[in-house]
Amino acid sequence: MYSVENTWKEIRDANVEIAVIAIGSIEQHGHHLPVGTDWFQVDVFGRALAEELDAFYVPAMPFGTAWEHGRFPGTISLRPETLAAVLRDIVMCLREHGMKRIVVANGHGANWVLKPTVRQLNYDYPDLSIVWSSGVNPEDGDEPPTEIHSGLSETSRMMYLRPELVKDKGIVNSPGIVGQEFLDYVGFDKVTKTGAWGMVADGASAERGADIADGRVEKSARYVRWAFDKVAELKTRPGIVKEDEVTD
């Protein structure tokens, strides 16, 4: 593994091709864990992964997007566009130095902006290969997702909503061959037979589409009504951050 403990000459002479970028978060973790929990954990994981890959380890980024924890003292949060810009700048530096195979290890679920950023970088710079630190591996026995795009559910809904636009002769099964994360790496044209990802021919029908579409509206309406009422209720509650409101 190579890191900031090495000289630039050592890194250059080693012709390091892979870099690992670990990104955490500084946020509250209740009464029993430190605010650096996500950062500490992803740092250990990132270092171990870089060691295994004989890669260059970028010092773990402590800050992520954690606005949902923002009222708790000690929480530090970046705006999503800031985190995206930081990742892009780091990747561009690594690319300049010949490290074009990059692994991103995300230690905080709310760092959602990393996903579109990784995808856009892969599409903008074909010489780069940026992958996540985990995903579906069929060679390890993992099952690729069956339905993602233009599959049984979506086709059935279109048969119900706009049947005249559905081309029956084009309905074929097109199962996934890799994990959905590969859409961040290479796109649909590389990992599907037709552009669809799903078992379209296994029973798509207008009747199925009607059940799905109508049931979705009813379920969504129930949720929306409940959510608005719940939000209004929660906004009237006192927070738990002030000392006299904290319970042991």
What pLDDT band is residue 220 in, cutting at 50, 70 and 90?
A: very high
Q: Which residues contact 142 (CB under 8 A, 6 or more apart)?
A: 136, 179
pLDDT at 243: 61
Q: Alpha helix locations (H) across 101-164?
A: 114-124, 152-161
- d(CA 145, CA 224) in angstroms, rounded, equals 29
Would you tell me the crossing angle of helices 206-236 and 152-161 to the nearest 10 degrees? Answer: 100
- d(CA 156, CA 210) in angstroms, rounded, equals 8
Question: For 178-213, what is each residue's pLDDT tens digit?
Answer: 999 999 999 999 998 889 998 877 788 999 999 999
- d(CA 182, CA 135) in angstroms, rounded, equals 9
- d(CA 86, CA 141) in angstroms, rounded, equals 35
Please report the domains of the chain, with CATH numbers, ordered by start residue.
8-134 (3.40.50.10310), 144-239 (3.40.50.10310)
Assigned token pair, 179 = 């994990």
Q: Is the pLDDT of residue 75 over 70?
A: yes
Question: For 116-150, what is each residue's pLDDT tens digit?
Answer: 999 999 999 999 999 999 999 999 999 999 899 99
Q: Is the pLDDT of residue 244 over 60?
A: no
Higher pLDDT, 174 or 158: 158
CA within 13 Å, CB half, 217: 6
Q: Is the pTM of this model over 0.85?
A: yes
Neighbour tally for 163: CB within 10 Å: 11
